Structure 1
Amino acid sequence: MNISRLKPILSNGVAPVLKGAFSSFTFPFGQTVIFTMVFSNISKVKNHKKNIYSRLIHRWRAYTFNNIKKSISIR
């Protein structure tokens, strides 16, 4: 096996590949840990439905504003 043929693919070495593998591996599991922590404590909050919906609406507004801002700045 000739390793020099892999050089165009790994031109920056193995480090970028390992960084990408680490981030793709930790993404779903990190979310699982955070959601477990949030949902285990949600029963202790009195108005949890109101709280969740208000946060959801706030995030939706923020994402919409950012997308509009990005689409205007691209043109």
Structure 2
Amino acid sequence: MSKHIQPRFTQVLMTCDQQGLIGGNMFTIDDCKIPSNVSKEWSGTRAKLTRKKAKLERASQRIIERH
């Protein structure tokens, strides 16, 4: 199942990172509404998003392997 879970988990991590919820500490997701900031100044570039996605894919894969 990990090949199906890993892409979704990466999406969750990317969303959490965009919301400023990932800081190297433990975090939880609990169905609460979180405000977003969609201004162009905060959105970044496609290259930056690609690098961030690759980094989070590696992180999610390590977490899945540990569990």
TM range (shorter): 0.3 to 0.5
Query: Which has the bigger relative contact order, CA under 8 A and spacing at least 6?
Result: 2
**Greater fraction helix:** 1
**Which structure's CA Rg is the greater one?**
1
TM-score between the two structures when normalised by the length of structure 2:
0.44
